Structure formats: C-alpha cells, structure tokens
Chain A
Amino acid sequence: MDNMKIKINLDLMMVKRKMPLKDLAEKVGITMANLSILKNGKAKGIRFGTLQAICRELDCQPGDILEYEVTENG
C-alpha cells in the first residue's frame, strides 16, 4: 500500500493559470494554511466541494490536479 499514492499537482496548475496561492484560497473559500497543506501533499483527503471549487477557479479537471502514482520500493 505504501508504494501507491495520490500525487497533488496543484502547484503545476497554479503556475499554468498564473494564480497565486492567496488568490486561489480566497476564491475557493479556504484558508491559505489549508490550501498549502493540500498543495504540499500533506492532506489526508479532499472534499468534493473543495475539489469542485478548485477546478472551477483553475478551469481544469480533477485529473489535472490529482494523479495516481505507483512508486517502486527501495
């Protein structure tokens, strides 16, 4: 299980859309601290509501932000 994870590509999308963290946090309606936790992959989960708001503001699909990744052990 440990070698499988969901990678968060939020920072990539934010660069593509030229949207700073502060602006996105304001538009999505969550704190900068929480958005930072999400961006750095420290979050345990993401609510559909948050995902929906991020996709709306960044004009993207959930797959652009979330990526299923299998890493090799060792």
Chain B
Amino acid sequence: MPGKSQLAFIKIVDWLLTGFTALVAGYISYRFIMLLVGPVLGITDQTTKLYYPVQFHVDEEGMALMSDQELSVKLKHAKAIAIIEAPTPTGLLVPVKLIRYGMFGFIIWVMFLMRQIVRSVGKGQPFIPENGERLRWIGLSILLIIGFDFFHDILLNLFITPRLTFDSIVFETSNHFDFRFILLGLVILVIGEAFRIGAEMKKEQDLMI
C-alpha cells in the first residue's frame, strides 16, 4: 500500500484529472449546444466561428542580434490561425465541428482511463491486467485523436484553403501531421501490451503457493 504522502499525491492527481475532465466535458457540451441552437436549428442568432491552422509561403528578410553580431534571417514559411467569423455554411461547419468534438470526446476518455489507473495505484494494486488494457486504450485513443485531427485538416484544406484570397499570400494545402504523437501513441500501445502480459504473469505468480 502507498504511504500517507503518496496517497495524498495520488488524491491530488485524481482531483486534477477529475476537474480537468469535467471542465473539458462542460466546455464541449456548451459548444455543442451553441452549435445546435445557433447554426443548426436557428433558434438563436448565435454564430459559431470556424478556426483552423493554415500554412503559407513568405519571403521576408530581417536581422537577429546574437552576441553583438547581426545575423541575417529569412522568413520562408509561416503558420497562422484562420478564423472564419460568420456565417459559415452549415454543411461544412457541422462536420468539422463534430470531428473536433469527437477529438475532445477521446481526450475525455483518455482522462477517464488515466483516472482509473491513478485510482488503482491508490489502492496499491497498479499491476493488474485491467491497467494494461487501459494503457492500450490510451495508446489507441491517441492514434485516433491524431486520425481525427488529420481528417479535420484534410476537410478544411479541401474546402476552405483553395477559396482563401489574401493579397500576396499563397496558402499551402499541406496538413499538420505530427509524427511525434504517432510515436507516442505507438509507444504507449507497446507499454500497455508489456504491462498486460506482466500483470498476467504476476497474477499467475500470485497463485503459485
């Protein structure tokens, strides 16, 4: 069993996770209701902004002062957040928003699983096969979140980026695919599987009298 100070730490982590999960769930529910009563059902004139990351080429030159030395710096590539104020076509807004809420749904799921793991640590029994399963779900959820994000970017790049007209800015339709998160998801999957096998072995060992 964990000591007094460890138990207090576990309790704080548990509260933080619960609080964060509740905050995210509350925020997403609120956004969903706003989307429903505003652009979808038209009950109120509430609008929902659509924002997404964009990339574009720039060609600027500047200076950087480093150790009393002036260095020439060139800006070649930039990232920004595009905000479409209103009214965004509902046919585009709703799928994009649902994908985004889906992503948050998986984030809440990951938080919930992490809370379960933390609670099992509090009980002094972290090495149980269920935690292996939970880690596996966390890994899979991270991969799914990346998949949702990728799909979200593709959808917007396909429908909005070609229609953006800004003077002297040429937008790229490439998406923001971060391989580090894929690696993180895969690593957690592997750890989860190793954990599950280890916990099964421990269970067997515990039944060896």
Contact with B207, one of A30, A35, A43, A50 (Cβ below 8 angstroms): A43
Question: CA A35 – CA B204 in complex, angstroms?
Answer: 16
Residues in A whose Cβ lies below 8 Å from that of B73 = none
* Complex CA distance for A44 and B207, rounded to whole angstroms: 5
- Docked complex: A26-42 residues within 8 A CB-CB of B: 30, 34-35, 37-38, 42
Q: How far is the CA of A45 from the CA of B204 in the complex (A)?
A: 9
Does B208 lie at the interface of the complex (its beta carbon under 8 Å from any beta carbon of A)?
A: yes
Is A46 interfacial (CB-CB < 8 Å)?
Answer: yes
Nearest CB in chain B to that of A46: its residue:
B209
B residues within 8 A CB of A50? 209
Interface residues on A, range: 10 to 19
| Cα distance, A44 to B203, chains bound together (Å) | 10
- Cβ of A18 < 8 Å from any Cβ of B? no
Roughly how many angstroms separate A42 CA and B206 CA in the complex, as a whole number? Answer: 11
Residues of B within 8 A of A42 (CB): 207
How long is the Cα–Cα vector from A47 to B209 in the complex, in angstroms? 6
Residues on the B chain within 8 Å of A44, using CB: 204, 207-208
With a cutoff of 8 Å between Cβ atoms, the chain A residues found around residue B204 in the complex are 44
**Nearest CB to that of B208 among chain A residues?**
A45
Chain A nearest CB, measured from B38 CB (Å): 60
Q: How far is the CA of A50 from the CA of B208 in the complex (A)?
A: 10
Return chain B residues, CB-CB under 8 Å to A35: 209
Interface string of B161-192 (1 = CB under 8 A from A): 00000000000000000000000000000000
For A34, list chain B residues within 8 Å (CB).
Answer: 209
Q: Shortest 8 CB-CB distances between A and B: which pairs? A: A44-B207, A45-B208, A38-B209, A43-B209, A34-B209, A44-B204, A43-B207, A46-B209
Taking Cβ atoms with an 8 Å cutoff, the residues of B that contact A are 204, 207-209
Additional pairs, 10, CB under 8 Å, beyond known A43-B209, A45-B208: A37-B207, A38-B209, A42-B207, A44-B207, A44-B208, A45-B207, A46-B208, A46-B209, A47-B208, A47-B209
Task: Identify the A interface with B (CB < 8 A).
Answer: 30, 34-35, 37-38, 42-47, 50
A selection of 7 A-B contacts at a CB cut-off of 8 Å is A37-B207, A42-B207, A43-B209, A44-B204, A45-B209, A47-B208, A50-B209
